[in-house]
Structure 1
């Protein structure tokens, strides 16, 4: 593309979408730097004007990011450098050929080839080439910024992968957060699939805040958690408390099975606009030394800066009391607990651990919880409310059924009550009717008590 054509592109930038505008500006800046390297252009790095009207040009995910983050010119170039391969795989190769036809590889430009991606991938050296050129002082300053001091890197919007052992640190690939790149390009992010690299599943529910039936004390604790999720950043940043308080928030939900721990975590995420991921401990814990820590590190790295809620159900399996060291297995098991303590301490979001018995959790963990939330078996009034809220609205009760009497006689958890309602409803459907019969209620309750080894 000729310079006259490039100027025309720049003049039209405000009419483009935010991401296309940024892409064209980045392309012009990088081409200018390359032409300087090859002696075919001026010594000035192209600096198209970055106006406020351009930053807020549209309502796309990328435009929203620009308004919220308000990156300066260099930060925009760094962001686009990491994003470019996702937009156009041949971007760097094409630009190199345009700036210097027949050019081979140039160490100054950095870059590597991917295993499956056949195009050029930028590294820290590529960023130094673009942002600092041959200025040694600027290169040293940018190395420090890329190592973690730059806001984009600190917030893991972009980051440097570790270099191959023995290679200079700036030879690591420059990456953009995969979820953020997908949001920029597609407008939304698909929930990550459960795997060894991400051992968690997204929790969703049709329940609302008013559907929670909890004792007053428990509900008060949950309201405090909701307040932190909504206002924690205000406390840390606007009230200048980040240097005085730990990041994130940690809560322990404890109580018998079926008392609403998982449902409450899910609804809490729904009403605060946060995604909730339930960690699959069977995929996390490994018999191989070091693998558990590796699996957990991958989970926490993916969740960092996402505003997710991490929910560890039946956490006793991983966060249980540390044992006396009798052999190598005990020593490494204790190391896993210590590793979790460290990651939980530094995680900036909300972590919820669920346990049937609070006494099963290591005391070192318990001291680190800001909230200990008890989920007891529901009382008679709460059981009655669960029965009433849980019944299908299209069905009617058989004459003579007294829900208050059932709630008073049978001490069931909320989960057990919903299992009974499910059973009773399916029995009615099998008879092609919409009447819920007493005998089905009694049969369903007997089934639940049998599961719990209870007598009627």
Structure 2
């Protein structure tokens, strides 16, 4: 048995003894019960790390394991209760609820009260304080009570443990969140490298500043004590025409600093219904908190655009969304990158809070020349009538536009079974790209 499974088995066995003792006292088969100390291995498992790092009290540790029971030993509660109620029946004092699919008992705050405090009012109040929003369980998003309907007892809410902790304990790693309604962001990555990306030298030097911040931020905030004086996180604006490398740069920053990059789908974030945009943003930032992810808001104008004068209720709530977003972005301790075609489209309130604003201009002729050389596959023979410097000087295309032309040319020569590119074919492909962009050659 590996160390993680061994520690989990010890923890579940310890909890079973605690629950059995509480049941014995409740049903009068024992006057008192004193729990033994937990026996665990101080190794590299998550449970050992948690005990060493957080140093939970026995009550706090009991609550954590209690919340994990449905994920690890779903029949545990029923087996222990059956020892005293073999014929079944109502057991209101134990609390717990039934799930939509789960056939066992899902523990609630009332379950915790029964196990840890019984009928002792003072101890019951102490348990409620552990499950309050002020406790480090809630602040660190480890364990909390599911909200209940208005008027129902707070402690009747289900005990919820962070799903990432469940993943860490059960499969040994935290998987990336899946794109969907609850997480409107897509993980993006690239196989390209910095040398594959051609940028203006001034743009590239500013990108290196972000890279340096990511690498040295922990030293600055923690070792040098600057965390008391400056806000966490880094906020940047990338602006420039489409296809100039904004998204690619974000992916390369993540690749070379070991950070996951998530592109936010604003169509799933922004809602016409009052309060829904804030709710969607809350889910996003709650999931991203303390992950050191790079959050990339593409076409950010839809969410970060200039506020309007208040003419009606819609304008009022739209401005409230901006205020809420400002608050969440300032509190986020990772990297936030906004991407826009125009710097002027971004609200001044966001601009003031940015550490850097980086322009991604259309590539100049010398940069286009370099892109042409790097983009065309070496398997294609280039005819003598193609002068890349002349092509680069004559046709103003973005890096993405040049890649589109190259892609079309490569497919065309493969289809013709002739691995040779002449000027006529290249010019036709460029013409096609200009038409697609709504321009005339």
The TM-score, its normalising length taken from structure 2, stands at: 0.88
Checking the alignment, whether the CA contact within 8 Å between 1:251 and 1:373 is kept in structure 2 is: yes
Spell out, residue by residue over 1:341-368, the C-alpha distance to the aligned partner (whole angstroms, 9 max, x if none): 2222222322211111110011111112
Q: 1:244: Cα distance to partner? A: 2.6
Correspondence for 1:223 among 204, 208, 231: 208
Inter-partner Cα distance in structure 2 for 1:31 and 1:236: 47
Checking the alignment, whether the CA contact within 8 Å between 1:235 and 1:241 is kept in structure 2 is: yes
Tell me the SS of whatever aligns to 2:149.
Answer: coil
**Aligned counterpart, 2:370:** 385
User: Is 1:376 aligned to 2:361, yes or no?
Assistant: yes
Tell me the SS of whatever aligns to 1:120.
Answer: coil
Correspondence for 1:414 among 386, 393, 399: 399
User: Is 1:56 aligned to 2:52, yes or no?
Assistant: no
Inter-partner Cα distance in structure 2 for 1:434 and 1:67: 64
User: Is 1:357 aligned to 2:329, yes or no?
Assistant: no
**Aligned counterpart, 2:98:** 113
RMSD: 3.0
Q: 1:108: Cα distance to partner? A: 4.6
User: Is 1:90 aligned to 2:75, yes or no?
Assistant: yes
Inter-partner Cα distance in structure 1 for 2:85 and 2:73: 19
**Aligned counterpart, 1:46:** 36
Question: Comparing 156-165 with 362-371, which one deviates more in the overlay?
Answer: 156-165
Q: 1:16: Cα distance to partner? A: 4.8
Inter-partner Cα distance in structure 1 for 2:253 and 2:395: 29
Tell me the SS of whatever aligns to 2:226.
Answer: coil
Q: 1:279: Cα distance to partner? A: 1.5
Matches within 5 A, 1:167-182: 167-182=152-167
Question: Comparing 261-270 with 175-184, which one deviates more in the overlay?
Answer: 175-184
Q: 1:258: Cα distance to partner? A: 0.6
Spell out, residue by residue over 1:235-277, the C-alpha distance to the aligned partner (whole angstroms, 9 max, x if none): 3334333333223222211111111111111222222222222
Matches within 5 A, 1:396-411: 396-411=381-396
Inter-partner Cα distance in structure 2 for 1:422 and 1:300: 37
Tell me the SS of whatever aligns to 1:311.
Answer: strand
**Aligned counterpart, 1:8:** none
Q: 1:44: Cα distance to partner? A: 0.5
Q: 1:132: Cα distance to partner? A: 5.2
Consecutive unaligned residues in structure 1, runs of 5 or more:
1-11
Tell me the SS of whatever aligns to 1:426.
Answer: helix
Consecutive unaligned residues in structure 2, runs of 5 or more:
none
The TM-score, its normalising length taken from structure 1, stands at: 0.85
Inter-partner Cα distance in structure 1 for 2:304 and 2:440: 33
**Aligned counterpart, 1:211:** 196
Question: Comparing 17-26 with 328-337, which one deviates more in the overlay?
Answer: 17-26
What is the number of residues matched between the two proteins?
Answer: 439
Inter-partner Cα distance in structure 2 for 1:337 and 1:29: 49
Spell out, residue by residue over 1:54-98, the C-alpha distance to the aligned partner (whole angstroms, 9 max, x if none): 13155xxx3685488454454543332222212233332233324
Checking the alignment, whether the CA contact within 8 Å between 2:234 and 2:335 is kept in structure 1 is: yes
**Aligned counterpart, 1:27:** 16
Change (3 A) 1:266 1:125: farther
Inter-partner Cα distance in structure 2 for 1:417 and 1:16: 54
Change (3 A) 1:180 1:270: farther
Q: 1:207: Cα distance to partner? A: 1.9
Matches within 5 A, 1:225-240: 225-240=210-225
Spell out, residue by residue over 1:363-407, the C-alpha distance to the aligned partner (whole angstroms, 9 max, x if none): 111112122222111223332332233233444433443333322
**Aligned counterpart, 1:293:** 278
Q: 1:14: Cα distance to partner? A: 6.1
Inter-partner Cα distance in structure 2 for 1:267 and 1:282: 25
Inter-partner Cα distance in structure 2 for 1:224 and 1:162: 43
Q: 1:437: Cα distance to partner? A: 3.5
Q: 1:323: Cα distance to partner? A: 0.9
Spell out, residue by residue over 1:27-70, the C-alpha distance to the aligned partner (whole angstroms, 9 max, x if none): 344434443443445520232234xxx13155xxx368548845
Question: Comparing 88-97 with 371-380, which one deviates more in the overlay?
Answer: 88-97
Inter-partner Cα distance in structure 1 for 2:48 and 2:336: 27
Checking the alignment, whether the CA contact within 8 Å between 1:378 and 1:414 is kept in structure 2 is: yes
Checking the alignment, whether the CA contact within 8 Å between 2:43 and 2:49 is kept in structure 1 is: no
Checking the alignment, whether the CA contact within 8 Å between 2:243 and 2:401 is kept in structure 1 is: yes
